[in-house]
Amino acid sequence: MQGRTSQSRSYATPWVSLGYSLRFIFRYPKVLSVSMMLVVATGLLTWLGTYESLAFIDSLTGDFFAHPPEPDHFWSWPLVWGWSALRWLFLIVSRVIAFYLAFLLAYCLTTPGYVFLSFLAGNRFTGQAREGEASMTLIGMCIDLIEGVKIAMVGIVVTIVALLLNFLPVIGQASAFLLYVFYSALMFIDFPSSRYRWKLGQKIGWIKKHRNQAFRLGLLPAVVSIIPLINIFFMALLFPLFTVHTTLNYLSIEGRR
């Protein structure tokens, strides 16, 4: 009975829109300044990581995709078509994987910065720090970095599972996308929950308890992250906005405003 009441309260919690979160960032110069610095840091680290990852992947394949097979006879054309299809599949999959691994690396390295942004936004939203909240210290930043590494490791597992699911028609793609949605929500919940030094299990538990809200928080980031080429720019640009958006909703849902 108590669990049902708690769940109904979570659904009744007012939702903070993405538009309000954007206006919130521009309302406070310090929040905006930190957001812009993180945009540059995240974009640069993700681009460098993607570039180096693709160079490494291409070095492993050698000249396999550099020279297509010669169609000597009519019956050799299926071999050429198969080679072309395999080449395009390799290009798409390798780019998506390279981006995601590079982004996870950038996520780990910039986690303390996004936790700080979440602290700033949360304090402006609630008016003050509350009892039980952790303070921003060097030890705390190291803890945040370790927690970021844990979530990045979960992301690697999610990427592998999603890759395997993609071999299943329709259902596999839908399931993989849902994985990315809830994992994206987990990434952003990491920042505001660091105010209370939550462990990974507590964050995953929050996602399970607030599935509807978690889906809404992770949907747009998941959509942006799977779009080739522009995902590096847009994820770097929008990551601070998604962080503030998740922070404000987390505080509202937890009743900490």
Amino acid 217: pLDDT: 95
Query: What are 120-135's pLDDT values in tens digits?
Result: 999 899 876 555 565 6
Classify residue 216: in a domain, yes or no. yes
The parent domain of residue 195 ranges over: 24-49+100-253
Classify residue 223: in a domain, yes or no. yes
Q: Is the pLDDT of residue 226 over 90?
A: no
Classify residue 83: in a domain, yes or no. no
Classify residue 93: in a domain, yes or no. no
Classify residue 12: in a domain, yes or no. no
Classify residue 59: in a domain, yes or no. no
Residue 167 has, within 13 A of its CA and on its CB side, a CA count of 4
* Structural domains in the chain (count): 1
Average pLDDT over residues 18-29: 95
Classify residue 189: in a domain, yes or no. yes
Average pLDDT over residues 35-50: 89
Amino acid 16: pLDDT: 92
Amino acid 30: pLDDT: 94
Query: What are 138-174's pLDDT values in tens digits?
Result: 777 787 778 888 888 888 888 788 878 877 777 888 8
Amino acid 245: pLDDT: 96
For the chain, the average pLDDT equals 80
Q: Is the pLDDT of residue 98 over 80?
A: no
Classify residue 38: in a domain, yes or no. yes
